[in-house]
Amino acid sequence: DQQVKQNSPSLSVQEGRISILNCDYTNSMFDYFLWYKKYPAEGPTFLISISSIKDKNEDGRFTVFLNKSAKHLSLHIVPSQPGDSAVYFCAASVVRSSNTGKLIFGQGTTLQVKP
Amino acid sequence: DTAVSQTPKYLVTQMGNDKSIKCEQNLGHDTMYWYKQDSKKFLKIMFSYNNKELIINETVPNRFSPKSPDKAHLNLHINSLELGDSAVYFCASSLAGAHYNEQFFGPGTRLTVL
């Protein structure tokens, strides 16, 4: 029973265009969401997060949108750069009631940005 | 100046053997984690320690035993290895409280059980 799903295993975009990575979740108790980026042979690195009290969080070229009613979040990268080519993991956690740091990850989406 | 390091990076072993993976962080964090990334690429939490105290213990066979000698180290010992244990194991660390979720990951250990 996978509570966090990334239904697109891969995405290819042209340099300079927008990349949109999607993530769906099923557990309505989740109140904090994160995106991690992973290069081959390295561990995931934290990219951006959003609390469930917000619907948007922006950090430079990266913006995360949260639609609680649809249990859906997305990561927008504008403009996309070849160095953004990596696997992107969506993760969710329950923070307000009992924060233990337990993250539930999706299976990742491989982004390829073509020059 | 590696933040979270794991040894070894690759581990190939026979079924039935016992092996350990070591993890160390020099970030001054007080919480450490072990994750398993299986063949379907899902990253799943296995254990978490805060100041040497076990705080997350997911449904993991008791052949897996984490050991935290101090808050900078969290080792994973696996007894009687099985084929299904083949995976990439990631160690991570964070600060407790508000920063629990911004976890710093090690490079991973690829375990292959033959």
Q: How confident is the model at residue A13 (pLDDT cuts 50, 70, 90)?
A: very high
What percent of chain B is modeled with pLDDT above 90?
Answer: 68
pLDDT of res. A102: 87
Could you give the number of structural domains in chain B? 1
Q: Which residues of A touch B56 (CB under 8 A)?
A: 100-102
pLDDT in tens, B19-61: 999 999 999 998 999 999 988 888 999 988 888 888 888 878 8
pLDDT in tens, A21-34: 999 999 999 999 99
H-assigned helices in B8-107: none
Residues A52, A66 contacting (CB under 8 angstroms): yes
User: Given A43, A102, A103, which is nearest B108 (Cβ)?
Assistant: A43
- pLDDT at residue A101 greater than cutoff 90: no
Please state, in angstroms and as integers, the Cα–Cα distance from residue A12 to each residue in A20, A86, A108, B106, following that order: 10, 11, 14, 27
CATH code, domain with B45: 2.60.40.10
Interface test with B, best of A103, A105, A107, A110 (most B CBs within 10 A): A103
Domain limits, chain A: 4-108
pLDDT in tens, A28-61: 999 999 999 999 989 999 999 999 999 999 999 9
- CATH class, domain A4-108, is mainly beta
User: Given A36, A45, A101, which is nearest B48 (Cβ)?
Assistant: A101
Question: Could you tell me the residue range of the domain that residue B107 belongs to?
Answer: 4-113
